Chain A
Amino acid sequence: MRAREVAEPKSARPDRVDSEALLRIEPLELRARVIVEGFLTGLHRSPYHGFSSEFSEYRPYSPGDDLRYLDWKLLARTDRYYIKRFEDETNVRCHLLVDLSRSMAFGSTRRPKIEYARTLAATLARFLTGQRDAVGLMTFAEDVVELIPPRHRPGHLQHLLVALEHATTGAETGLTDALTRAAGLVRQRGIVVLISDLLAPLDGLDLAFGHLRARGQEVIVFRVLDPAEVEFPFERASLFEDLETGKTFYVDPATAGVEYRARFAEHQRGLEQIAGDQGIDLVQWTTDRPLVECLFEYVNARMRRGRTVLRRRSGGARR
């Protein structure tokens, strides 16, 4: 699977919500609601509800199954024992893993990456809550900052949103640890959504993703980057300070820029390699793009891929 960068917005689709205006909405809950409503409006023709788990209807009853899930109507109509697995399995348990390390506070545009990440996480949480899915949240920096297990109950969303409002912290990004910890937590199938800039060494990342995948989790990685991190547009030589470690040294962009871009691209390739190996969706966004648009494109792409997968699966079944 190839990680796709969200390309230019399609001119046919008007930008429904102005990104800048959206990010200016201070309450995260309100901001998420605006996005989700616009999002649903855009999706209303879609027969599928976003990135839900695979659809499964009935399975034949086998001794030991809980009789509460037996479809009594079907039994009465057809006299066959079927378990309604649909309800049980389509209520996805989604874990949102949000990076709150200090590097997320960087922003060469008006808003830092963390704003973008929070908004995205809040949008997903609200959207999934609206679908009656259970959403959990793990925020992490060099270590896990806060952990909220996935639930679906009134007021849970508020807890998530409050936890998202925590300030950035930490001297480094403990990405691998966070993923390993998350792998230990999840017991049921579900989705793990990682929102981070992934500006951390790649050592051990492969293994961490592998753990999650082994636990039956679908992993989606939203990589939020600042345009300056991609292009390194600096011109003046100056003292560069690492936001996480506080380390400083003189950098002359004229000489260091080329090397930066090369090493960044190398890191990116390594990341894509891991994503491809582990079957992970890696979506990379820069904060100069409107969030809604990026989200929409991702969903569209996923839907197309889902159909493809379904077709392949059905085709395969035929084979």
Chain B
Amino acid sequence: MSLLYPLFLAGFAAVALPIVFHMIRRAPSGRTSFSSLMFLRTSPPRLARRQRLDQLVLLALRALALALLAFAFARPYFRVAAQVGADAMLGPRIALLVDTSASMRRTGLWSAAATEVEAVLADAPPDSVFALATFDRGLTHHVRFEETLGLDDETARALVRERLASSSPSWAATDLGGALAALVEELEGAVAPGRTTRVVLVSDVQAGSDLAALEGYDWPVGIELEVRSLRAAGGNASLHPVPRAANRDDDALWVRVASGADSVTDRFQLQWSSAVGEAVGEAKTIACPPGETRVVRAPARPLAADGADIDRLVLTGDANPFDNVWLDREAVAAPVVVPFLVALDGAVDSTGRGLEFFLERIFEGTDGAITLAPQAAARAPRLDAAKNPLVLFELAGSAVPPYAILDACVRHAAAGGVVLAVVAVGGDDGRDDGSLAAATRVLRVLLAEPRLELREAPTAPDGFALLGEIDFAHPLFAPFSDPRFSDFTKIRFWRHRVLELPPTGRPESAPRVLARFDDGAPFLVERMVGPGRILVVTSGWGADDSDFALSSKFAPLVLGMLRLGAGPDLAAATFHVGDRVPLPPAGPAGTRTVRRPDGTTVTIPPDASAFTATESPGHYALEDAGRSTPFTIRIDPRESRVEPLDADRLARLGVPIATPRASDPEATRQEQSAELEQRQQLWRFLIVLALGVLMVETVWAGRLARRSVTPVN
């Protein structure tokens, strides 16, 4: 039998306490004042009866209880049984998880990672099973447990080394939480009886790591995480632009230079550079002490001398240049023109209360980026889906527009644009002047529903209709889906039309009602035409029809339609390495390619809606039928936060952190002892025994007390 905490045996000394307390009463405690001690002499007191040890049984019982308690605290266990259990165990499963995020590109980190992996392989006990995975934004398996299960120790290690040598750091961000959760879930699924499982994380564990996946993740029992953190030398400085302040009227680029706390220098240079890495223009020196940030105005972009594209701002001076480039291409904003096709014989809007008036108020605020182009619906307009993402078509007059116009509208939608037809027929008194019939014919073409009917809605009892049913799942209404913004009941429609759509056997291509009035009549109907769409509203926003234009919902809705037609604005959007770049619908030619920064091209399948091979930062370009849409992929700014993560952050998220396996045999032995003691738990038995002894003691003492109060004659 062995003891886990032999120091507690000192508690045996407590057995002496009752005896000591008993004896300590030898000294008289009282004090008597007496008039004169002249007749007295010091006399050693005799040993009174009470100061002799009697009740030896009681004393023995109490001493036994104390001794049992002390013994229980010393946590005894049987070593023999322990050894047998330890020998029967198989080698552990060790899953190596190596960080390959962009921050691992810092000087010396990747080789340090290889060294750590080597150390883990060397320290692993015999008969260990290995797995190797790397992660940045996602998890990549290189070696699985099944591969090394049957191999001898040396071959298994060699396989891990070989696979690790074939991988290298990427440019992507660090999703540490996601990688851990995914790996651990796989490990948990593949149980291995007789083997313990350990995940060894080899990473710089930077503060910019994404741990969101671990929040609320229930880490499985039995899998421990051992963290081997790597430290880079030399410090890091990063370069990121500052969002343009609204009150800053110059067009200059302002950047934030952040120097890490461990930086060795406080002088950095900012300089523009071409795509081939050739520095252009003057360098600007920035003084930024370690641990601080400076917001500075970038030097003016120099003019390109020989046609080379000056597309990046480079920070020099720090030891780790992986995040020192800001890719910045001059934005070429093409002005957007919204054609407004007005019915030939429609009433001229002289009151300032018609459709055009309110639209102009919206586009006024865009500083000329969007302009309204009213034109008579007399001949087919020249429409370009890129320049005219939205076409407005007012159905007001009694004359039917030429078919060429309708055809142009449908083709425009097929090219990805949006056509909005506004049914604003009828005079002020609501009498039929033939415009309803004309509008019906136009809508039958636009919505491809030859059987649809259109009529003036009866006046509602209270004089107006409200919007009653809105499809907030549609991209047009999705921004309003939040309960704070979804109140459309303040919009009143004095007049609207009832559009009767016959049921169709092809629901997928049938016009879809996005919003209805409270009487059930459709307000907004959508027909998808290829990548584009044709929208029909059955009530105008002019003052005669409704107060829709005065509502706060009006401008967002119109601009939303514009955005639907324009598709994703790749040039303005921010994409990081590994992001999925949504692509606009393919043009009629159907062959789309993406030109990567190194000049190679990737062909995009016709049905692909996104480009995912964004593996390195740089300027990309989407080529579609001669039209080039540039977009830029940058390093995730979180990768620049390379200071170490809080040491206990992972532990706070419920991850059981294991200390690196000590090679100290004494520590190992102690650990085994603790484990075996935990299994045997002899101390519980001892505590119960002590309680039993105390109960016997109580009964015994009670008997003695009864005996002593028995009257003696």
Please give the residue numbers on chain A whose beta carbons come within 8 Å of chain B beta carbons, in ascending order: 103-106, 113, 197, 199-201, 226, 228-229, 234, 236-245, 247-252, 254-256, 259-260, 263-264, 267
Q: Identify whether the interface residues of B are mostly helix, strand, loop, or mixed.
A: loop
A122 to chain B, nearest CB (A): 22
Choose among A201, A226, A249, A256 the residue that contacts B35 (Cβ–Cβ < 8 A): A226
Choose among B29, B33, B36, B43 the residue that contacts A251 (Cβ–Cβ < 8 A): B43
Choose among B29, B30, B35, B44 the residue that contacts A197 (Cβ–Cβ < 8 A): B35
Q: Is the CB of B43 within 8 A of A250?
A: yes
User: In this complex, what residue of B is CB-closest to A104?
Assistant: B35
B551 to chain A, nearest CB (A): 101
A-B contacts besides A234-B32, A237-B28, A256-B40, 11 pairs, CB < 8 Å: A106-B35, A113-B35, A226-B35, A229-B35, A239-B32, A242-B36, A243-B36, A250-B44, A251-B41, A255-B43, A263-B39
Q: Is the CB of A247 within 8 A of B32?
A: no
With A250-B45, A254-B46 as known contacts, state yes or no: A236 contacts B30, CB within 8 Å: yes
A113-B36 Cα distance, complex, nearest whole Å:
13
Give the chain A neighbours of B709 by CB distance below 8 A. Answer: none
Give the chain B neighbours of A243 by CB distance below 8 A. Answer: 33-36
Q: Is the CB of B39 within 8 A of A249?
A: no
A14 to chain B, nearest CB (A): 32
A1-B29 Cα distance, complex, nearest whole Å:
46
User: In this complex, what residue of B is CB-closest to A261?
Assistant: B39
Q: Is the CB of B39 within 8 A of A267?
A: yes
Q: Is the CB of A199 within 8 A of B35?
A: yes
Give the chain B neighbours of A247 by CB distance below 8 A. Answer: 37
Give the chain A neighbours of B40 by CB distance below 8 A. Answer: 240, 249, 251, 256, 259-260
Q: Does B31 reach chain A (CB closer than 8 Å)? A: yes
Q: Does B710 reach chain A (CB closer than 8 Å)? A: no
A289 to chain B, nearest CB (A): 18
Q: Is the CB of A256 within 8 A of B28?
A: no
B231 to chain A, nearest CB (A): 72
B64 to chain A, nearest CB (A): 34
Q: Is the CB of A249 within 8 A of B45?
A: no
Q: Does B42 reach chain A (CB closer than 8 Å)? A: yes
A228-B40 Cα distance, complex, nearest whole Å:
13
Q: Is the CB of B34 within 8 A of A240?
A: yes
The 4 A-B residue pairs with the shortest CB-CB distance, nearest first, are: A106-B35, A238-B30, A103-B35, A237-B45
Choose among A226, A245, A259 the residue that contacts B41 (Cβ–Cβ < 8 A): A259
Residue from A228, A238, A240, A252 whose CB has the most chain B CB atoms within 10 Å = A240
Give the chain B neighbours of A103 by CB distance below 8 A. Answer: 35-36
Give the chain B neighbours of A244 by CB distance below 8 A. Answer: 35-36
With A247-B37, A249-B37 as known contacts, state yes or no: A241 contacts B32, CB within 8 Å: yes
Q: Could you pull out 30 A-B pairs where Cβ atoms are within 8 angstroms?
A: A103-B35, A104-B35, A106-B34, A199-B38, A200-B38, A201-B38, A228-B34, A229-B35, A236-B30, A237-B45, A238-B28, A238-B31, A240-B32, A240-B34, A241-B33, A241-B34, A243-B35, A249-B37, A249-B40, A250-B28, A250-B42, A250-B44, A251-B42, A251-B43, A252-B28, A252-B43, A255-B46, A256-B40, A256-B41, A264-B39
User: In this complex, what residue of A is CB-closest to B33?
Assistant: A241
List CB contacts (< 8 Å) of B42-86 with chain A. 42-46
User: In this complex, what residue of A is CB-closest to B38?
Assistant: A199
A250-B42 Cα distance, complex, nearest whole Å:
6
Give the chain A neighbours of B37 by CB distance below 8 A. Answer: 240, 242, 245, 247, 249
B311 to chain A, nearest CB (A): 102
List CB contacts (< 8 Å) of B1-52 with chain A. 28-46
Residue from B33, B42, B44, B46 whose CB has the most chain A CB atoms within 10 Å = B33
A259-B38 Cα distance, complex, nearest whole Å:
11
Give the chain B neighbours of A200 by CB distance below 8 A. Answer: 38
A247-B35 Cα distance, complex, nearest whole Å:
11
A106-B29 Cα distance, complex, nearest whole Å:
21
A73 to chain B, nearest CB (A): 56
With A236-B28, A240-B40, A260-B40 as known contacts, state yes or no: A252 contacts B45, CB within 8 Å: yes
A103-B35 Cα distance, complex, nearest whole Å:
4
Q: Is the CB of B34 within 8 A of A252?
A: no
With A237-B28, A238-B28 as known contacts, state yes or no: A252 contacts B46, CB within 8 Å: yes
Give the chain B neighbours of A105 by CB distance below 8 A. Answer: 35
Give the chain B neighbours of A234 by CB distance below 8 A. Answer: 32
Give the chain A neighbours of B46 by CB distance below 8 A. Answer: 237, 252, 254-255
A267 to chain B, nearest CB (A): 7
A200-B31 Cα distance, complex, nearest whole Å:
23
A128-B41 Cα distance, complex, nearest whole Å:
43
B85 to chain A, nearest CB (A): 63
A19-B15 Cα distance, complex, nearest whole Å:
58
Give the chain B neighbours of A240 by CB distance below 8 A. Answer: 32-34, 37, 40
A41 to chain B, nearest CB (A): 35
Choose among B29, B30, B36, B42 the residue that contacts A249 (Cβ–Cβ < 8 A): B42
Residue from B34, B37, B38 whose CB has the most chain A CB atoms within 10 Å = B34
Q: Mark B475-487, 1 if CB is under 8 A from A, else 0.
A: 0000000000000
A236-B34 Cα distance, complex, nearest whole Å:
14
With A197-B35, A199-B36, A244-B36 as known contacts, state yes or no: A239 contacts B41, CB within 8 Å: no
User: In this complex, what residue of B is CB-closest to A259?
Assistant: B41
A242-B263 Cα distance, complex, nearest whole Å:
83
B172 to chain A, nearest CB (A): 87
A228-B39 Cα distance, complex, nearest whole Å:
13
A104-B35 Cα distance, complex, nearest whole Å:
7
Q: Is the CB of B45 within 8 A of A242?
A: no
Give the chain A neighbours of B29 by CB distance below 8 A. Answer: 238
Give the chain B neighbours of A256 by CB distance below 8 A. Answer: 40-41, 43
A313-B43 Cα distance, complex, nearest whole Å:
54
Give the chain A neighbours of B38 by CB distance below 8 A. Answer: 199-201
Q: Mark B515-533, 1 if CB is under 8 A from A, else 0.
A: 0000000000000000000
Give the chain B neighbours of A255 by CB distance below 8 A. Answer: 43, 46
A201-B32 Cα distance, complex, nearest whole Å:
22
A106-B36 Cα distance, complex, nearest whole Å:
9
Give the chain A neighbours of B31 by CB distance below 8 A. Answer: 238-239, 241, 248
A238-B46 Cα distance, complex, nearest whole Å:
12
Q: Is the CB of B35 within 8 A of A239?
A: no
User: In this complex, what residue of B is CB-closest to A102?
Assistant: B35
Q: Is the CB of A260 within 8 A of B39?
A: yes
User: In this complex, what residue of A is CB-closest to B27?
Assistant: A250
